Amino acid sequence: MTVVGPFGLRVRDQALEADVQAGLAAVEAGLLDATKSEVPFITEAAQHLVSAGGKRFRPLLVMLAAQFGDPDAPGVVPAAVVVELTHLATLYHDDVMDEADVRRGVDSANTRWGNSVAVLTGDFLFARASHILADLGPEAVRIQAEAFERLVTGQILETAGPRDGRDPVDHYMDVLGGKTGSLVAVSGRFGALMAGADESVVDILTQYGERLGIAFQLADDVLDIASDSHESGKTPGTDLREGIPTLPVLHLRARAAAGDDPQDKELVELLDGDLGDDDRLAEALRRLRAHPALEQARRDTVRYAQEARATLAPLPECYAKAALEELCDAVVHRAG
């Protein structure tokens, strides 16, 4: 059994491991090529997060989904490069909106060069992704456009907040379906589609990616509170400090509104105060780490990962299916 890709994913077959490793290596080369510019400064900024590494979660899913067709088909690697470039572009923009200082263990682009350069670099990456996408055909362009619309819609919904009378948790799950689920779903879809898999298989892997993407983001929500910067590669409590709603906080607020526990209400007041103060943020993190709302968010993460796993049931038994199932377990383990 070989460990490959993010989270220590275990692959039980040497041939599959070789295919996935070769595919990810080709994606890495493609990312470096796609982020080169005739302007050296643009190359430096565009390769900032590429060079910082990352899990390459989405390209890995493309490679595994392609195993249900021809994994060597010419569109597989470029499609993986497209989804990762798109993801990287959103990180540049997210860090500006969140005023994040650290990304993947290095200074965020906005910290290093300022917000304008970070936003424009994200736009540059979107442009490069579109250029590659154009060679994959009109259907691929349409799929990516629809996913990008969902991604942006999710971001806008998050910024606008839930409308009056809407359950904040339900609203948040809609946000995650757009912000994260959409692009992970495209990863599964592109991998199977570019490899020539049957339409039913493409649909299954799209649904799988949607649910797995939500589980992945929920695990991130837990990590923002439960981890340290060494584990997560970003400053813990970043979302808390910026007032970004995450599932543990939404569960806490629901408990505080529905119950009469003064400690719940006191913690909500702490979160609503000035978390720009490091001591207050540390206190909020300490109390949230011990609060049942965090465990409730972990259970939700497990549930979505289990739903992702269940969608795979109709697929034939093979090493690639086993790896996709293992990926569900790995995502949950991050939030453990």
CA pair distance 70, 89, nearest whole angstrom:
29
pLDDT, residue 1, reads: 42
Digit-coded pLDDT (tens) for 248-275: 999 999 999 987 789 999 999 999 998 8
pLDDT, residue 50, reads: 82
Residue 16 has pLDDT above 60, yes or no: yes
Residue in 266, 229, 224 with CA at minimum distance from that of residue 245:
224
CATH number for position 154: 1.10.600.10
Digit-coded pLDDT (tens) for 98-139: 666 666 667 676 776 677 788 888 899 999 999 999 999 999
CA pair distance 63, 319, nearest whole angstrom:
13
- Average pLDDT (26-53) is 90
- Average pLDDT (222-236) is 71
Q: Which domain holds residue 136?
A: 2-334
Neighbours of 321 (CB within 10 A): 16
Domain count, the chain: 1
pLDDT, residue 49, reads: 78
* Residues above pLDDT 70, as percent of the chain: 90
Cβ-Cβ contacts under 8 Å for 211 (sequence gap 6 or more): 181, 304, 305, 307, 308, 311
